[in-house]
Homo-oligomer: A and B are copies of this chain.
Amino acid sequence: MTGRDYLGEFEHIIVLALLRLEDRAYGVTVRQEIEFRTHREVSIGAVYATLNRLETKGFVKSHCGDPTPERGGRSKRFFRVTAKGVSAVNRTQRALHSMTEGLDLVRSYS
């Protein structure tokens, strides 16, 4: 029931996007940030599904923002990373780092 205590690949990317965006993080900007930095196409459904899952697990928290003075549009649901989420991302990064250090990734194998 509790799930894992580290992040899946996309969860990892999403949490990093949230940390980067600070108080400007909501579905649309998260998607943009990832597409901009990784050049990978991301469907908006994937973003929300993952954000919801992360919230269920207590790695992020959301709150609704007030309407903005811009032209139309539903009000935003902002997300931020919890302390638990920061631990999880740190664990995940440490694991990856310990597997990577000292490796020469430039080599090509056949």
Contact = CB atoms under 8 A, between A and B. Distances in A.
Interface of A: 6-9, 12-13, 16-17, 19-20, 34, 37-38, 40, 80-83, 85-86, 89-90, 92-96, 98-100, 102-103, 105, 107-110
Contacts of A89: 105
A16 B80 contact: no
23 contacts: A6-B9, A8-B8, A8-B9, A9-B9, A9-B12, A13-B96, A13-B99, A16-B99, A16-B100, A19-B103, A19-B105, A38-B94, A38-B95, A38-B98, A40-B95, A80-B109, A82-B110, A83-B110, A85-B109, A86-B105, A89-B105, A93-B100, A96-B96
A82 to B, nearest CB: 6
A105 B93 contact: yes
A8 B100 CA distance: 15
A82 B110 CA distance: 5
Contacts of A7: 9
A41 to B, nearest CB: 11
